[in-house]
Structure 1
């Protein structure tokens, strides 16, 4: 593979591989809880909580990956990878919070929504820039990279 191509996608590949490892961890927790014999009828069992948290994370996973790669390839790799790593962190926080009380998972869920929105806006900006170059010959890639690099640290503010 061409070295120039690899340097443009290496951060996205790393975040994708980390997300795969995280999915394996979630699946392991579901398997671990399914083997326990504790059954409680009044409150959801630990297995049900872990299973539901895993299922919720799986439901959002394809959207996350698509937006991560679109934002990284069409806009800027570093802010997309940063947002991807932050998303993996809040997904872990959501998963662990869901295993306890569901109210503990809300902060992770809300920050995850903000990160998905940021990746979506980066993707849209990249697509719009592509068509501006194609039809008008105006390239705003540097401006978009500057704005996304500036905004990405602001995602850490609660």
Structure 2
């Protein structure tokens, strides 16, 4: 039981942080909704930003967890934290002017792509190990650990 938890605790932490972030977003929408004039452009922007973040949320969770379980927990959790920071930047940028949110959106897509690639590598390695007896997990973990640092580049 302990080894199973050791393999996912970073993913659990990132997931819980994302839940807190969702609560923050919901609070911002609620606060704007309670304003006297709730049909302002500010309310529309915060509502749209929240909707956009919620639309991408299931995809983020799925690829982060699959990448962490199938390949390596640490780079998947690191990418998850970076994604949450980017999502925060996107949300806050959307409150100012929608063009300020574009860098966060593009960066988020790149992180989702990285996590998806980790999933594919993990599944491919499992199939190689299962059917051909070749296990490249150590090599792919080394590559993804190094590549996860490249996510910090703009």
Q: Which runs of 5+ in 2 are unaligned?
A: none
Where has structure 1 moved over 6 Å in runs of 4 or more? none
- The answer to whether the 8 Å contact 2:32/2:38 transfers is no
Are residues 1:27 and 2:23 paired? no
| Structure 2 residue aligned with 1:149 | 145
Q: Equivalents in 2 of 1:18, 1:123: separation in Å? A: 22
Q: Deviations over 1:25-69 (max 9, x none)?
A: 1011101000112367xxx61111000000000000000000000
Deviation, structure 1 residue 135: 0.7
TM-score (norm 1): 0.95
Are residues 1:78 and 2:74 paired? yes
| Structure 1 residue aligned with 2:37 | 38
- The answer to whether the 8 Å contact 2:49/2:91 transfers is yes
Q: Deviations over 1:113-153 (max 9, x none)?
A: 00000000000000001111111011010010000001001
Are residues 1:99 and 2:98 paired? no
Are residues 1:62 and 2:58 paired? yes
Question: Which residue among 107, 113, 118 is the counterpart of 2:109?
Answer: 113
| Structure 2 residue aligned with 1:12 | 11
Question: Which residue among 124, 135, 140 is the counterpart of 1:139?
Answer: 135
- Gap change, CA 1:39 and 1:68, over 3 Å in 2: closer
Q: CA RMSD in A?
A: 1.0
Corresponding residue SS for 1:30: helix
Q: Which runs of 5+ in 1 are unaligned?
A: none
Corresponding residue SS for 1:38: coil
Deviation, structure 1 residue 154: 0.7
Number of equivalenced pairs: 154
Deviation, structure 1 residue 112: 0.3
